[in-house]
Structure 1
Amino acid sequence: MSTRDPERRAAVPGARAPGGALPGPAPDPLDPAVEPGRWALFLDVDGTLLGFQGRPEDVQLHASLRGVLNALDAGLGHAVALVSGRTLADLDRIQAPLKLPAAGLHGLERRDADGTIDHGVEGAALDHLRAGLTDLVTRHDALWLEDKGRALAVHYRADPALHGTVLDRVHALCAREAPDTLAVLDGKMVCEVKPRHADKGSAIRGFMARPPFAGRLPVFLGDDVTDEDGFRAVNALGGLSIRVGTQPAGKLTHAAYRLADEPAVEAWLDRVRQAVVPGARPPNG
């Protein structure tokens, strides 16, 4: 198809979905006009690269996707990073034996390509919330509190009807204990609290300020409300923001493009691999 086709024109760098419009289809990396060799690629994990599991510790990259990421890392000059709400240690467990640059805890900690780790500022305000959140989960068997050290997450996947109860209680605790320093993230079957000073957008900007990401076009894939800061950041830098999954009713996104689900993400990333590593055999992990 020619890039003069109106459908294709909406999927090349520089084209933006109008404000409030649904995102358009993700750009085809095999289209020469897209220039994927210039990209710096930032990837959320849960709900983007990999499907959700009952417990976060059950998630791990499968061999075919690990192989695609390994090839992309080489083909993009090591400008590939994971940007997630998980800790750095958990991201390394998931991607092993790869060790891509990564931002954990929604940007509170970041490991650059040279191995330098920025642990950011400690979130001491969370200490005041632990008792209240522990009391909440002990009163509901379906709830589970994940303590990430500098972020706290209450999971209610086992009983989605508890969403309102969890969100109201978390907001009330934050308003009482640390209203100016903590942010509440209302995610997919999880309500998370973290220090307000860092987010996925600041993590991406931090990566983009240093090699090998500096000077490249940022591309970020995410699926949840916690990824909107990342979408805003790459849009401001002239990059590509790609939302994965369906658009929640009544909610807008800052993403300009979309992919249907995690298998669609893997297929799209493999097309990026074909574009940046031409002639390479399909990876086997």
Structure 2
Amino acid sequence: MMTSPPDSPPPVSLLQGAALFLDFDGTLVELAERPELVRVDARLAALLERLRMKLNGRVAIISGRSVDSILGLFGPLPITIAGSHGLEVQSYDGKRSLPERPVALDRILQTMTDFAHTTPGLLVEEKPFGAALHYRGAAHMEDAANALARTLADETALHLQTGKMMVELRVGGGDKGSALRRLMAESPMRGFTPVFLGDDDTDEPAMVAAAEHGGAGILIGAPRESSARYRLPDVDATLDWLERACEGAA
């Protein structure tokens, strides 16, 4: 449930006794015109490794990207990754669980691709269990993109997910909140206090889940209605805070 806009920065002591959950795009890296243009630099890679060590493995990425997309950016990453909004999970030891891919996705991808070819700036992103239509490069197409997605959702009964300058159809039955709850029930997260960092509407279920477990959400970006308790203004401030908080984490 949304609350008033948070505007207090998180204390650096927040990671003491915490299980840390991190969104990726817009939280750890700046958003890019195309998802494949994002790069992970040495600072971020080193920071995740320090956090993993300080928190004894209690670090997870929960992203709308696929697990393979995250691994393609970082390389081998011995932390838990919940990809596709939590539909696929690869644990820190490399074991992966996957849902079944619906046949309807092939038709959805083709329909979105045909639609995108009519307007420069539209981009279709194929995911293992979903298809996303990005209109960051053609903002005037927002209404048309959302109308198409609603029609396809009605026809296929797949889950409709909106986000920053994009709309996605994907397998239902989970979101970032259910992913956080699932991971909190397992080792090494079980028994610790969840802290979730995210920037988008798709991150709100995880903010709620963190609060339900006695933890807190941290909104990244401009003030807006959110279930987060704290806020950091941008990606740079997020990395700065994580580096400071890491020093006192245990």
TM-score normalised per structure 1: 0.83
**CA deviation vs aligned residue, 1:217-253 (integer Å, no higher than 9, x gap):** 01100000111111111111111111100135xxx32
Whether contact under 8 Å (1:102, 1:112) holds in the other structure is yes
Whether contact under 8 Å (1:185, 1:225) holds in the other structure is no
**CA deviation vs aligned residue, 1:54-102 (integer Å, no higher than 9, x gap):** 2211212211121111111000011101110111111012222533210
Task: Work out the CA distance in 2 between the residues paired with 1:135 and 1:58.
Answer: 23
How far did 1:19 drift?
Answer: 6.5
Q: What code does the residue aligned with 2:150 have?
A: H
Compare 258-267 and 165-174 and name the one that shifted more.
165-174
Q: 2:139 aligns with which of 131, 140, 160?
A: 160
Q: What code does the residue aligned with 2:79 have?
A: L
Alignment pair present for 1:29 and 2:17: no
Whether contact under 8 Å (2:101, 2:128) holds in the other structure is no
Whether contact under 8 Å (2:10, 2:218) holds in the other structure is no
Task: Work out the CA distance in 2 between the residues paired with 1:232 and 1:123.
Answer: 29
Q: Which residue does 1:112 correspond to in 2?
A: 91
RMSD over aligned Cα atoms:
1.8
Whether contact under 8 Å (1:245, 1:260) holds in the other structure is yes
Compare 265-274 and 53-62 and name the one that shifted more.
53-62
Task: Work out the CA distance in 2 between the residues paired with 1:106 and 1:200.
Answer: 5
Q: How does 1:208-227 map to 2 (within 5 A)?
A: 208-227=184-203
Task: Work out the CA distance in 2 between the residues paired with 1:101 and 1:269.
Answer: 18
Q: Would the alpha carbon gap of residues 255 and 125 (structure 1) be closer, same or farther in structure 2, given more than 3 Å must change? A: farther
Q: Which runs of 5+ in 2 are unaligned?
A: none
Task: Work out the CA distance in 2 between the residues paired with 1:101 and 1:19.
Answer: 27
Task: Work out the CA distance in 1 between the residues paired with 2:55 and 2:78.
Answer: 15
Alignment pair present for 1:103 and 2:82: yes
- Higher Rg of the two aligned structures: 1
Q: How does 1:53-72 map to 2 (within 5 A)?
A: 53-72=32-51
Q: Which residue does 2:229 correspond to in 1?
A: 256
Task: Work out the CA distance in 2 between the residues paired with 1:40 and 1:208.
Answer: 8
Alignment pair present for 1:130 and 2:103: no
Q: What code does the residue aligned with 2:160 have?
A: V
Q: Which residue does 1:15 correspond to in 2?
A: none
Task: Work out the CA distance in 2 between the residues paired with 1:149 and 1:74.
Answer: 30
Q: Which residue does 1:8 correspond to in 2?
A: none
Q: Residue 121 of structure 2 aligns to a residue in which SS?
A: coil
Q: What code does the residue aligned with 1:99 have?
A: P
Task: Work out the CA distance in 1 between the residues paired with 2:18 and 2:71.
Answer: 23
Q: 2:123 aligns with which of 133, 144, 149?
A: 144
Q: Percent same amino acid among aligned pairs?
A: 35
Task: Work out the CA distance in 1 between the residues paired with 2:145 and 2:163.
Answer: 12
How far did 1:259 drift?
Answer: 0.7
Alignment pair present for 1:266 and 2:244: no
Alignment pair present for 1:92 and 2:71: yes
Task: Work out the CA distance in 2 between the residues paired with 1:19 and 1:43.
Answer: 19
Whether contact under 8 Å (2:78, 2:93) holds in the other structure is no
TM-score normalised per structure 2: 0.94
Whether contact under 8 Å (1:72, 1:272) holds in the other structure is no
Task: Work out the CA distance in 1 between the residues paired with 2:144 and 2:199.
Answer: 24
Task: Work out the CA distance in 1 between the residues paired with 2:3 and 2:61.
Answer: 27
Whether contact under 8 Å (1:112, 1:207) holds in the other structure is no
Q: Which runs of 5+ in 1 are unaligned?
A: 1-17, 278-285
Q: 2:52 aligns with which of 69, 73, 82?
A: 73
How far did 1:151 drift?
Answer: 0.8
How far did 1:24 drift?
Answer: 3.5
Task: Work out the CA distance in 1 between the residues paired with 2:178 and 2:137.
Answer: 32
Q: What code does the residue aligned with 2:236 have?
A: P
